[in-house]
Amino acid sequence: MPTGVAIRDPREQLFDAAERILLRDGPNALTSRAVTTEAGCAKGVLHRHFADFDAFLTELVLDRIGRIDQQSTALRESAGTRTVADNLTDALTDIFESVAVAIVSLVTFRDELRTRLRQVRPPGVPLLTEATAMLATYLTAERGLGRIAADADVDTLALTLIGSGHLLFADRKDTPPEPTATHKLVTSVIAGVLREPPR
């Protein structure tokens, strides 16, 4: 493999390669050699940009957490549009059809990665903690608009949606759940607090 070929944005290229491996083969297959081979670059490229493989994995997780922050803004801005159930269904699908489930497995699998993440982020399961906060923020906005009950416990609703969504999407390599199954889960969780008229 040529080593003198420049690659554009090597960090993102390596992150994308790691994500493809995680989604295709799971956390056991994720090694520095597998990542550089998948990215089509020399092994030294990874070590030029990261102190070691666990530093690379830590940055990968933090980068993907940053994407949740972007999703959070879009979801919060959708408050008052469409239906609450449709917005939540799309949000859960976006979260769990991404690499989130595989990253949770990766963090569980690698002790050193968990240790490093604890040093730089709040406690909780990476990505799932941020996704829960995203849903709670959205539900708070909908509560303010009167589309869910004023006394709704948005934090518990968000936890329930994320936990149930994780179980629904986990261990489904080739066939994600049908959109109707995700929508049914959402409507069941929020049924008691929904104040918008049914469609």
Give the model confidence (pLDDT) of 159-197 as tens digits.
999 999 999 988 656 677 889 999 999 999 999 999 976
Higher pLDDT, residue 176 or 90: 90
pLDDT band at 5 (very low <50, low <70, confident <90, very high): very low
Give the model confidence (pLDDT) of 103-116 as tens digits.
888 888 888 999 99
Contact (Cβ atoms closer than 8 angstroms) between residue 166 and residue 101: yes
Task: Clarify whether residues 89 and 186 are in a common domain.
Answer: yes
Task: Clarify whether residues 31 and 84 are in a common domain.
Answer: no
**Residue 29 belongs to a domain with what CATH number?**
1.10.10.60
Distances 19 to 88, 145, 162, 174 between C-alpha atoms, Å: 24, 37, 21, 16
**Residue 91 belongs to a domain with what CATH number?**
1.10.357
Residue 33 lies inside a defined structural domain of this protein? yes
Crossing angle of helices 53-77 and 84-96, rounded to 10°:
170
* pTM for the structure as a whole: 0.85
Task: Clarify whether residues 181 and 148 are in a common domain.
Answer: yes
The total number of structural domains that make up the chain: 2
Of 155, 105, 168, the closest CA to residue 129 belongs to 155
Residue 54 lies inside a defined structural domain of this protein? no
* Residue 164 CB partners (closer than 8 Å, separation 6+): 185, 189
Residue 199 lies inside a defined structural domain of this protein? no
Crossing angle of helices 128-144 and 84-96, rounded to 10°:
170
Q: Kindly give the residue spans of alpha helices, DSSP state H, lying in 29-151.
A: 32-39, 43-49, 53-77, 84-96, 100-109, 111-120, 128-144
Q: How many CB atoms lie under 10 A from the CB of residue 150?
A: 9
Task: Clarify whether residues 179 and 101 are in a common domain.
Answer: yes
Task: Clarify whether residues 44 and 77 are in a common domain.
Answer: no
Radius of gyration of the chain from Cα atoms? 19
Give the residue numbers spanning the domain of 39: 8-49
Residue 3 lies inside a defined structural domain of this protein? no
Crossing angle of helices 100-109 and 84-96, rounded to 10°:
50
Residue 151 lies inside a defined structural domain of this protein? yes
Give the model confidence (pLDDT) of 133-158 as tens digits.
999 999 999 999 999 999 999 999 99
Task: Clarify whether residues 97 and 186 are in a common domain.
Answer: yes
Task: Clarify whether residues 105 and 186 are in a common domain.
Answer: yes
pLDDT band at 85 (very low <50, low <70, confident <90, very high): very high
Task: Clarify whether residues 28 and 103 are in a common domain.
Answer: no
Residue 62 lies inside a defined structural domain of this protein? no
Residue 146 lies inside a defined structural domain of this protein? yes
Residue 148 lies inside a defined structural domain of this protein? yes
In the chain, % of residues over pLDDT 90 = 60
Task: Clarify whether residues 104 and 142 are in a common domain.
Answer: yes
Task: Clarify whether residues 95 and 162 are in a common domain.
Answer: yes
